[in-house]
Amino acid sequence: MNKMDPNIAKELDARLALATKDDTARGLFFNGVVSAVRTMGGDAAVERCLAASGETRFIDFFNYPVAAFLRMSFTAAQVMGPEHGGFDGALRRMGVVATTDFLSSAAGKTLLLLASDSPKRLVGNLHSGYRAAVSYGERAVKWTGDTSGIFTMKRDFMPPAYHEGTLQAVIEAVGGKQVQVHGRQTGPLDTEYTLSWQ
């Protein structure tokens, strides 16, 4: 599988066209993709993803262009898709891995400490976690109940499936059970996520 599906390639191009050189993400997210791909696809798949990113390695707390992350993630999701529920299933899995990596970092541990085992408190503080990890976008939450809400992301480059994995992993990290996350795109880089848990 060397060629990207035309619809996926078109979505990637549309997102890349909206990225500027000031839009960056931490290396730990790139490393999360690399470790997921190595586990699921082996070294050849890792080489292909690194080639797509234009980099050879990433340092966790350095900033790298989001355009490189998009190219790498889309390539990785295409490589891992057949064994992980298609392109969206692979993106969701990468979101989970990226979140696990972030939560084990100093910034992530601080976020968990502030949440003190409350999914609602953690989701309410997520905007600051994102600010520590990426240079772009706005995030906010509107609560619809004690264990439900709508999390909005404006000008975020990753497709909804990636953040469905991210948000699910965050809520589960502080004890949320039966977590439901459903993303609905509202603009080229804007998405609303309905969240609920037990």
- For residue 3, pLDDT over 80 is answered with no
- For residue 169, pLDDT over 90 is answered with yes
- For residue 101, pLDDT over 70 is answered with yes
pLDDT tens-digit readout, 28-73: 889 988 988 888 788 999 999 999 999 999 998 899 999 999 999 9
- For residue 1, pLDDT over 60 is answered with no
Q: Tokens 């990753």, residue?
A: 158
- For residue 2, pLDDT over 70 is answered with no
pLDDT at 61: 87
Mean pLDDT, to the nearest integer, of 132-139?
94
**12 alpha carbon, distance to own chain's centre:** 15
Q: What domains can you pick out in the chain, each with its CATH number?
A: 6-95 (no CATH), 103-196 (3.30.70)
Q: Which two tokens stand for residue 54?
A: 């234009």
Secondary structure of residue 179 in the 3-state scheme? coil
Average per-residue pLDDT in the chain? 93
pLDDT tens-digit readout, 120-131: 999 999 988 888
In angstroms, the first-to-last Cα distance of the chain is: 40
Cβ atoms of residues 60 and 25 within 8 Å: no
